[in-house]
Amino acid sequence: MGSLIKNECRRMMTRSRKRKRQEDFLTHCHEKRILTFQECIPETMMERCVKIGEGVFGEVFRTRRDDGSSVVLKIIPIEGDFPVNDQPQKTFEEILPEIVISRELSELKDNQTGNQTGGFIHLHRVCLVQGAWPDHLLAMWDQWHQEKAGGSENDKPDMFPRSQLFVVLESEDGGCDLEHYQFYSLREAKAVLHQITIALAVAEAALQFEHRDLHWGNVLVRKVGEQSSTHHLAGEEVCVDTRGLDVNIIDFTLSRIHKDGQPLYCDLSANPTLFEGKGDYQFDIYREMKKENRDNWKQHHPYTNVLWLHYLADKLLHKKYRGQKKIHRQWQQKFRTFLKQVLACRTVAQVLEDCQLFEEK
Ligand SMILES: Nc1ncnc2c1ncn2[C@@H]1O[C@H](COP(=O)(O)OP(=O)(O)OP(=O)(O)O)[C@@H](O)[C@H]1O
Ligand SMILES: [Mg+2]
C-alpha cells in the first residue's frame, strides 16, 4: 500500500514538473497556450501545404498565407517517450536554443546597435501544437515519399498518438538551397558567398555566433530585383553587390550564441556519430571543428565559421555553370586564391579584411 502511494506521489510530481516546464516553454511561443493543428495552420493555409524537405528531427512544408506571402513550416515532435527515426525525441530544454537562436538572428535584420544584417531567415512565429497529424500533411508526406528517389528517410508521422506535442516554426520562404540552385556564373556564386560572409561576421560581432552546420542545404538563395544589400558591421555600413540574389542562412539546430551573459549551444560531444561521417568534405568539417575547440562546445571559436566558409567556397567552385568559359576560368582562379587564404583567418571579420575575392568586380 505504502509503495502504491509513493508511486502515485512520484507520478504527480513528474506531471507537475512537466506542466511547469511546458509553461516555461510557452513563454517563448507566439501564443501562450497549446494549439491544435487546425488552430496553428488555418484551413486555407493547410490546403496549400506541400512537403519540401526533411531532417532527422522534423518535416518541412511550404505554404501560402492569406496575404499571399509564401512561408515555410518546420514541424518537430517533442517530449514524447518513443524514439523517432531511432533518435530520442527532443525535450523542451533541448529545442529551446534553436528557437532562441533563430529569433535572435532573425532580429538582426532590424538591429539598431551597429550590427545589422538580413542574411538570416526571418522567423514569423513559434507554436506548441498537440494532436494527430492532419490528413492533408500525411497525404503530402506520402506524395514526397513516392516522388523522391529512395523515398523518405523518416518514419511516417501517422504513428504519433493524439497526445504527441510538436513545435511548429514558421519562417519566410527563403527560396532554393545552394545545392540545388542553378547559377549562371561563378561571379553570381561570389555574390552569394559575400553575403554569407557578411552575415556571419555581423552575427559573430553581435552574438558570438557559430553556425556549426553550414552545409549547402542550409543556405537559401532567391532571385530579387535589388542589385545590392546593405548591412552594418561594428557601426560601419557595408554594401554588397548581390547580382540580384538574396541569401538566407537557416537551420540553427547545432548553432551557438552568447546571450544575457550565457552561452546557448548544442553539446555536440554527446553526439559522437556526427564525427564519423565519410564521403563528403562536409563530414571533415565536423572533425575540424572538434579539433579546434577540443570538443568543448560551450566556448566561442569563430574559426568554425571560417571552416564552413572554406567548405562553401569549395562547393561553389565545383558546381556546374552555364556562363562564358574564359570569364569562368578567371573566377575559378580567384576562388582558388580564396581557398588558399581563408584558413589563415581566425574570424570571419578577418576574412572580410584579408581575402581579395570580395573586392573583385
Ligand atoms: N525558410 C525556408 N525557406 C525555404 N526552404 C526551407 C526553409 N527552411 C527549410 N527549408 C528547406 O527544408 C530543408 C530542411 O530544413 P532545415 O535545414 O531547417 O531542417 P533540418 O535539416 O531537418 O534540420 P535539422 O538539422 O534540425 O534536422 C532545407 O534544406 C531547405 O531545403
Ligand atoms: Mg538542414
Known binding residues: 74
Please, which pLDDT band fits residue 118 given cuts at 50, 70 and 90?
Answer: very high
- C-alpha distances out from residue 275 to 85, 271, 291, 353, Å: 19, 8, 11, 31
Is 70 exceeded by the pLDDT of residue 103? yes
Q: Which atom of ligand 1 is nearest to the CA of 60?
A: 12
Taking the CA of 167 as reference, the closest ligand is 1
Do residues 256 and 336 share a domain?
yes
Q: How far is the CA of 90 from the centre of ligand 2 (A)?
A: 16
Least confident of 196-200, 211-215, 355-359: 355-359
Do residues 274 and 161 share a domain?
no
Question: According to DSSP H, which parts of 151-226 are helical?
Answer: 186-207
Catalytic (active site) residue 213: yes
Please, which pLDDT band fits residue 323 given cuts at 50, 70 and 90?
Answer: confident
Taking the CA of 252 as reference, the closest ligand is 1
Q: How far is the CA of 55 from the centre of ligand 2 (A)?
A: 6
**Interval 241-256 mean pLDDT:** 97
Residue whose C-alpha cell is 574559426: 303
Q: How far is the CA of 218 from the centre of ligand 2 (A)?
A: 5
Please, which pLDDT band fits residue 138 given cuts at 50, 70 and 90?
Answer: very high
Please, which pLDDT band fits residue 112 given cuts at 50, 70 and 90?
Answer: confident
Residues 6 or more apart from 26 whose CB is under 8 A from it? 32, 33, 34, 128
Q: Which domain holds residue 332?
A: 176-359
In testing the pocket of ligand 1, which one of 98, 213, 248, 250 has its CB within 8 Å of the most ligand atoms?
Answer: 250
Q: What percent of the chain has pLDDT over 70?
A: 99
Please, which pLDDT band fits residue 165 given cuts at 50, 70 and 90?
Answer: very high
Is 90 exceeded by the pLDDT of residue 9? no
Report the C-alpha gap between 240 and 227 in whole angstroms: 9
Do residues 275 and 321 share a domain?
yes
Q: What percent of the chain has pLDDT over 90?
A: 88
Do residues 164 and 125 share a domain?
yes
Do residues 246 and 153 share a domain?
no
Please, which pLDDT band fits residue 1 given cuts at 50, 70 and 90?
Answer: low
Do residues 160 and 233 share a domain?
no
Please, which pLDDT band fits residue 13 given cuts at 50, 70 and 90?
Answer: confident
Question: 172, 202, 233 — which closes off a domain?
Answer: 172
Q: How far is the CA of 341 from the centre of ligand 1 (A)?
A: 30
Question: 127, 157, 172 — which closes off a domain?
Answer: 172
Residue whose C-alpha cell is 556526427: 274
Are 349 and 233 spatial neighbours (Cβ–Cβ below 8 Å)?
A: yes
177 Cβ below 6 A of ligand 1: yes
User: Mean pLDDT in the chain?
Assistant: 95
Report the C-alpha gap between 18 and 32 in whole angstroms: 16
Point out the catalytic residue in the list 213, 260, 284, 314: 213
Do residues 280 and 254 share a domain?
yes
Report the C-alpha gap between 48 and 185 in whole angstroms: 34
167 Cβ below 6 A of ligand 1: no
Q: Which atom of ligand 1 is nearest to the CA of 98?
A: 26
Do residues 47 and 97 share a domain?
yes
Do residues 293 and 334 share a domain?
yes
CATH code for the domain of 239: 1.10.510.10
Q: What is the 3-state secondary structure (H, E, C) of 83-142?
A: CECCECCECHHHHHHHHHHHHHHHHHHHCCCCCECCCECCEEEEEEEECCCCHHHHHHHH
- Whose CA is closest to atom 13 on ligand 1? 53
Do residues 182 and 301 share a domain?
yes
Is 70 exceeded by the pLDDT of residue 183? yes
Do residues 127 and 214 share a domain?
no
Q: Which atom of ligand 1 is nearest to the CA of 250?
A: 18
Q: Residue 19 is inside which H or E element, if any?
A: helix 2-26
The pLDDT, as a whole number, for residue 361 is: 82
Do residues 202 and 290 share a domain?
yes
72 Cβ below 6 A of ligand 1: yes
- Whose CA is closest to atom 24 on ligand 1? 55
Question: 145, 172, 199 — which closes off a domain?
Answer: 172
Q: How far is the CA of 206 from the centre of ligand 2 (A)?
A: 23
Report the C-alpha gap between 216 and 162 in whole angstroms: 35
The pLDDT, as a whole number, for residue 79 is: 96
The pLDDT, as a whole number, for residue 7 is: 78
Q: 33 by DSSP, 3-state: which?
A: coil
